[in-house]
Structure 1
Amino acid sequence: MKRIIVVGAGAAGLMAATIAAREGAVVTLIEKMNMIGKKMGITGKGRCNITNNAPIEDFIARTPGNGKFLLSAYQQFDNRDLLDLLTHWKLKTKVERGGRIFPESDSALEVRDMFMRVFKGYGGTLHLNEAVEHLIVDEGAIKGVKTNRETYYADAVILATGGLSYPLTGSTGDGYELARAVGHKITDLRPSLVPIETKESWVKDLMGLSLRNVELSVVAKNKVQGKMFGEMMFTHFGITGPIVLSLSHTVGKLMKKKNIGSIELQINLKPALSQEQLDVRVQKDFQLYSKKQLGNGLKDLLPQRLIPVIIKEAQLDESKFINQMSREERFRLVHTLQHLTLNFKSLGPIAEAIVTSGGITVKEFTPRTMESKLIKGLYGAGEVLDIDAFTGGYNLQAAFSTGYVAAMHAVHGDLDNK
């Protein structure tokens, strides 16, 4: 029987260790924290957004960080395969808005407990509070690992240590140093899926206000660099929410470019309407509330707290009566409704990011097997690799798929030649 060591008991590591044990290997799972799946336990606000029911093409498109690298892994183990496996392991799931899939119990703890139960049922061994300090390599092949306690020898090692985000969960970049020490390159590391801080002070007045069905665009050099439709929320420092977190990846890439200049975030509050259609809608409201002041005449169009901001940004007088407004003033209002502009200040720190953008370069791993091209018997899985996706279950699916593929090939070698 093959001896396999899995380093890191997050989503990718738990899947890799459990599958390797299922396939008959002697598996040792090493985790430096005092429990497994600590970061997985806080995903989806503690509910664990396991995956999404979207087609695999969408998974690739929604993975701006090397999505194409995952195509082979998804062909071997996709979201349907994952759900079948979880059902076999007695975990009930449900589908919610946006195709997001959660455990029926709404508990990430149930997912962690399931992995622990199944992993131990297959005979796997778990070591908690133990940190891997070195990978043992001899003549270009992995031989085992050295921890802060002892040395373990193995036929294969699966590195699944996560990234740099949420360090209190154990994601402190250890895997990058382990990989770098044996010759692997690490790409630039930056936060992804992180809130955005803006320069405007008025965001504080809107703190906690959520907007649905809006479109957010990232603009630089007078060109839209990326845009998303969905939900967002104002905070005391800027903006957050699903579409903001996803677009933070685009902003992070722009920040790395030279001479990019200023970055703007434009909110289209009425993306379903053309400018002409919105103007017609505004005129109807103006007719209905013609004898009211502007500040009281937009209540059917906007959330109450947003009205003063829109009026100010459109350079209008909220005390002016609607029947006294000029055509040019109405046009300014319409334009602002579809181009509410925020000036980018900074991304939240990487420690607060949901995922890390960057990691061990995927160019040095074989996508079909997840095996290192530099070190025979060394495999990578999950966020430690330079892979990151948008919110909605796409990152966890990437972790589960790469963990599964790494385990199958670590146990059975080149499956295509069997």
Structure 2
Amino acid sequence: MAAAISLAREGARVLLLEKNEKLGKKLYITGKGRCNLTNASPVENLLENTVSNPKFLYSAFHHMDSFATMAFFRSIGLPVKTERGNRVFPSSEKASDVNKVLEKELRRLGVEVRLHTEVTGLLVEDGVVRGVRTADSRRREEVLEAQGVLLATGGLSYAMTGSTGEGLEFAAASGHRLVEPVPSLVPLETREEEYAAMQGLALKNVSLALWNGKKKLYEGFGEMLFTHFGLSGPLVLSASAYLPRNMQGEATLSLDLKPGLSLEQLDARVLREFQANMRKAFKNSLDSLLPKTMIPVFLGRLDIQLEKPVDQVTKEERAALVALMKDYRFTVKGPRGFQEAVVTRGGVSTKDVRPGTMESKIVENLYFAGEMLDLDALTGGYNLQIAFSTAFLAGKSMGERLLQNSDTRS
């Protein structure tokens, strides 16, 4: 929709093809139905939070940064607000309102929209795209000629919204390299099954690091959640974006339950708790240090008798307790599937796309935008900003190209 608007604003005749029964189906579920449109921060921050190929986005982000995105939505009738972490949402907190204003702008610009229309292939002759093949809901086929084609079919995340990978197949069939798509911003499964006993436990103000062998790949501070299969929550989703495709050694998650305290400070804190609970058994002395549901599971990793009186816990045993609180490790078995992934990592290689226009280097007059490119970022509005930035740049570039090459501009 954003690409069609950008292209139509250049004066081109635009046909938007959508295989679903309505436009923007994935938008309805973004931000838990509130739609985190962007992140109100400078381009430098957008780039820092882009995980894959940030340099490729210099032109796109400078063409349309987050503040331009906010201005665009205000201009078409959508008030927005900024919340914690510079996350930007519609003031109404309804993702459906984002769709409404985009559809209204499409109508205003005269963009023709065809629903229930599936693109089945590209028409490419002599290295130039000439149009597309389509099939409607009754599987009736049609060939549509065009002077330019823009693919914005998304990745493989949430297939129920229509992201089933056809666009990636079209790109590959026309000679483009694909970086293997994998789930990103996704919960992680762990080998240790301790999560089952802590299912539903949410932790706040903790630190989480992802390691591949001895190499730290990610570290963040915030919230996480134990589930029936492993770990989830904002910190874990962010860590998943850095999970190596081909791990050399084991990937592990290191949880620091007390990131605000050094080992020495935490040891002093534990010692004070022990002194205040000298008549209690070791297992009953940690209520003010750890969540109740975590204590029996956590202590299972320590070689300390649970019934041992606190005043008999040795200095070495206390040091082991402190060390575990600062480095509670889980071995990553792997990510959950695309159906639980916020975004897709991988897609059309950025090496085959011109960063200043989003046009293919392989097929003339073919453009790409959004998640089907090998671009992904952390949570916080960054992935939608990538979508809007690449879409507006692609639409404008495509329109300018048509203006140069044709009078009909269709």
1:15-414 map, 5 Å: 15-148=2-135, 149-251=141-243, 253=244, 255-257=245-247, 260-413=248-401
**Structure 2 length-normalised TM:** 0.93
Point out where structure 1 has 5 or more consecutive residues left out of the alignment. 1-13
Query: Cα deviations across residues 357-414 of structure 1 (Å, max 9, x unaligned)?
Result: 1101111111111111122211100011111111111100000100010001111139
Task: Show CA shifts across 1:110-165 (max 9, x none).
Answer: 11111111111111111111111121122322221111132222221111000111
Query: What SS does the aligned partner of 1:305 have?
Result: coil
Please tell me whether the aligned partners of residues 188 and 334 of structure 2 are also in contact (alpha carbons under 8 angstroms): yes
Give the Cα–Cα distance (whole angstroms) in 1 for the partners of residues 359 and 74 of structure 2: 28
- The gaps in structure 2 that reach 5 residues or longer are 136-140, 404-410
Alpha carbons 1:199, 1:343 under 8 Å: kept? yes
Q: Is the 8 A contact 1:313 1:340 kept in 2?
A: no
| Superposition deviation, residue 329 in structure 1 | 1.1
Q: Letter of the 2:385 partner, please give it.
A: Q
1:311, 1:317 within 8 Å by CA — same for their partners in 2?
no
Output the CA distance in 1 between the equivalents of 2:295 and 2:203.
Answer: 13
Shift of the 33–414 alpha-carbon distance from structure 1 to 2, 3 Å rule, reads: closer
Shift of residue 298, structure 1, vs aligned partner: 1.6
1:319 is displaced (CA, Å) by 2.5
For residue 171 of structure 2, what is the amino acid of its counterpart?
A
CA distance in 1, matches of 2:284, 2:196: 22
Q: Which whole-Å CA distance do the structure 2 matches of 1:108 and 1:248 have between them?
A: 25
Letter in 2 for 1:356: T
Contact residue 265 and residue 341 of structure 1 kept, 8 A: yes
In structure 2, give the amino acid aligned to 1:387.
L
Bigger shift: residues 156-165 or 208-217:
208-217
Q: CA deviation at 1:221?
A: 2.1
Equivalent residue letter for 2:359: E
Q: 1:7: which partner in 2?
A: none
Aligned residues: 399
State whether residues 213 and 249 of structure 2, in contact with CA within 8 Å, keep that contact through their aligned partners in structure 1.
yes
TM-score w.r.t. the length of structure 1 is 0.92
Q: Is the 8 A contact 1:196 1:248 kept in 2?
A: yes
How big is the shift at 1:235? 0.3
Return the alpha-carbon distance in structure 1 between the equivalents of residues 151 and 276 of structure 2: 64
The 2-side partners of 1:145 and 1:221 are apart by 47
Q: Deviations over 1:310-342 (max 9, x none)?
A: 222233333222222111111011001011111
Question: What displacement does 1:179 show?
Answer: 1.0
Distance in 1, Cα, partners of 2:299 & 2:337: 33
In the alignment, is the contact (CA less than 8 A) between 2:26 and 2:161 conserved in 1? yes
Paired AA for residue 271 in structure 1: P
